[in-house]
Amino acid sequence: MTHFILMLTKDDRTVSKAAAIYEEVRDTKVSHVGFKDIGLPLDEMKELAARIRADGRRMMLEVVSTSREAELRSIRAAIEIGVDYLLGGRHASDALPLLAGTSIRYFPFCGNTVGHPTCLEGTIDEIVADARRLAALPGIDGLDLLSYRFAGNAEELTRRVVDAVQTPVIAAGSIDRPERVRAVCDAGVWGFTVGSALFEGKFATDFFKQQVRSLVRFEGASQ
């Protein structure tokens, strides 16, 4: 089953009222909730994480910081918070020793990711090769693929990465319409993230909760 991951984020930043927005969707069947390492101070991230954890949901932090030093600080914060999944980041060889011995599942970005908001550069062959390299590293639990932050054929890219590795793949970034959700699900991804599009009302309604419910249906959950 493909998992919908609700991201309390817009433009690659956690929204300022993330905790209040999360309260709006607590009675939905969404099972995975995430936020970025940029946008909230650590104490507010801890508060948000505690609410998500108390509801028995899986919690994800996606690292989009652009420097190695900031990324490593965010990884240490993720460990302190006790997230279930750590997504993103560009420095897997530095991250893995920090994560060793924790229960955090690690899904770094594959391919050449640049800037903020983060984009994916290179050819499909180059990205697939990097996906294979990362997936072979001990301690890598899956991959974070910026399918629609890629200038080429996003659907082909997603299929090829999924087919190339035995680890789960999360499709992230700019999934802003039902057609894109269906495409990544058809490609066999383990999960897909949606954040900004929800705040922009891209899924047929301006009501945040209704959009979340419509996306949960893609993974076969009932409301």
Domain positions in the chain: 3-102+169-219
By CB atoms closer than 10 A (0-12, 13-18, 19+), residue 104 is buried
d(CA 17, CA 9): 10
pLDDT tens digits, one per residue of 68-117: 999 999 999 999 999 999 999 999 999 999 999 999 999 999 999 999 99
Q: Note the pLDDT of residue 222.
A: 36
Residue 111 is encoded by which pair of tokens? 């391919």
3-state helix, strand, coil in the chain (%, to 5): 40, 20, 40
pLDDT tens digits, one per residue of 126-141: 999 999 999 999 999 9
Work out the mean pLDDT of the chain and round it to a whole number: 95
Q: Note the pLDDT of residue 207.
A: 85
Banded model confidence at residue 204, pLDDT cuts 50, 70, 90? confident
Banded model confidence at residue 221, pLDDT cuts 50, 70, 90? very low
pLDDT tens digits, one per residue of 27-55: 999 999 999 999 999 999 999 999 999 99
Banded model confidence at residue 201, pLDDT cuts 50, 70, 90? very high
Q: Note the pLDDT of residue 220.
A: 54
pLDDT tens digits, one per residue of 151-194: 999 999 999 999 999 999 999 999 999 999 999 999 999 999 99
Class of domain 3-102+169-219: alpha beta
By CB atoms closer than 10 A (0-12, 13-18, 19+), residue 127 is buried
The predicted model scores a pTM of 0.96
Banded model confidence at residue 223, pLDDT cuts 50, 70, 90? very low
Banded model confidence at residue 219, pLDDT cuts 50, 70, 90? confident
